[in-house]
Amino acid sequence: MLDAPVMQAATAESLVHVKARTESPPGYSRVPVPAEKVSWATAFEAYAPQSYTAPQVLQNDLTLRPGGWADEADPVKTVARRGPLRSVTGRPIQLDASGHPLNPAGRTGIRGRGLLGKWGPNFAADPIVTRLAPLNGELEMLAIRRKDNGHWAIPGGMVDFGEDVSATLAREFEEETGVALDLSDARLVYLGYVDDPRNTDHAWIESTVKHKHLDPVMASRIAPLAGDDAAAVQWLPLTPENLARLHASHGDFVRRALASAAAGSGDVGTPSPDSNESPTPRTR
Ligand code: RP5
CATH code, domain with 191? 3.90.79.10
Confidence at residue 16, expressed as pLDDT on a 0 to 100 scale: 78
Non-local (6+) Cβ contacts of 45 within 8 A are none
Q: Is the CB of 158 under 6 A from ligand 1?
A: yes
Confidence at residue 267, expressed as pLDDT on a 0 to 100 scale: 53
Q: Is the CB of 196 under 6 A from ligand 1?
A: yes
Mean per-residue pLDDT, 174-201: 97
Can you say whether the dihedral through the CA atoms of 269, 275, 278, 282 is positive or negative? Answer: negative
SS3 141: strand
Question: Where do runs of H (alpha helix) occur along the chain?
Answer: 4-8, 19-22, 55-58, 75-82, 165-177, 216-220, 240-245, 250-263
For the chain, strand residue ranges (E) read 51-53, 111-114, 120-132, 139-146, 152-153, 157-158, 187-193, 203-213, 230-237
Q: Is the CB of 157 under 6 A from ligand 1?
A: yes
For 131-159, write each residue's pLDDT tens digit: 999 999 999 999 999 999 999 999 999 99
Residue 284 maps to a domain = no
Mean confidence (pLDDT) of the chain: 89
250 and 154 in contact (C-beta within 8 Å)?
Answer: yes
| Dist. CA 45 → ligand 1 center (Å) | 33
Residue 14 maps to a domain = no
Nearest CA to ligand 1 atom 6: 156
| Dist. CA 158 → ligand 1 center (Å) | 6
252 and 266 in contact (C-beta within 8 Å)?
Answer: no
Mean per-residue pLDDT, 193-216: 98
102 and 94 in contact (C-beta within 8 Å)?
Answer: yes
**C-alpha neighbours within 13 Å on the C-beta side of residue 264:** 14
Residue 187 maps to a domain = yes
Separation of alpha carbons 236 and 255, rounded Å: 14
Q: Is the CB of 144 under 6 A from ligand 1?
A: no
Question: Which range of residues forms the domain containing residue 84?
Answer: 20-264
Residue 43 maps to a domain = yes
Q: Please tell me the total count of domains within the chain.
A: 1
21 and 38 in contact (C-beta within 8 Å)?
Answer: yes
Out of 43-52, 170-179, 215-224, 260-269, least confident range: 260-269
DSSP state of 206: E
The count of other CB atoms within 10 Å of the CB of residue 267 is: 10
Residue 9 maps to a domain = no
Mean per-residue pLDDT, 213-222: 96
The count of other CB atoms within 10 Å of the CB of residue 159 is: 22
Confidence at residue 1, expressed as pLDDT on a 0 to 100 scale: 30
Confidence at residue 17, expressed as pLDDT on a 0 to 100 scale: 94
For 230-260, write each residue's pLDDT tens digit: 999 999 999 999 999 999 999 999 999 999 9
| Dist. CA 82 → ligand 1 center (Å) | 23
CA angle, 116 then 230 then 247, to 5°: 60
DSSP one-letter string for 73-112: S-HHHHHHHH-S-B-TTSPBPPB-TTSPBPPTT---S-EE
Decide if pLDDT at 274 tops 80: no
Separation of alpha carbons 58 and 73, rounded Å: 7
Confidence at residue 281, expressed as pLDDT on a 0 to 100 scale: 25
Decide if pLDDT at 105 tops 60: yes
- pTM of the predicted model as reported, rounded to 2 decimal places: 0.89
Nearest CA to ligand 1 atom 9: 157
Q: Is the CB of 194 under 6 A from ligand 1?
A: yes
Q: Is the CB of 176 under 6 A from ligand 1?
A: no
Q: Is the CB of 248 under 6 A from ligand 1?
A: yes
Separation of alpha carbons 238 and 245, rounded Å: 11
For 39-74, write each residue's pLDDT tens digit: 999 999 999 999 999 999 999 999 999 999 999 999
Count the helices and strands in the chain (H runs, E runs). 8, 9
Q: Is the CB of 199 under 6 A from ligand 1?
A: no
Residue 10 maps to a domain = no
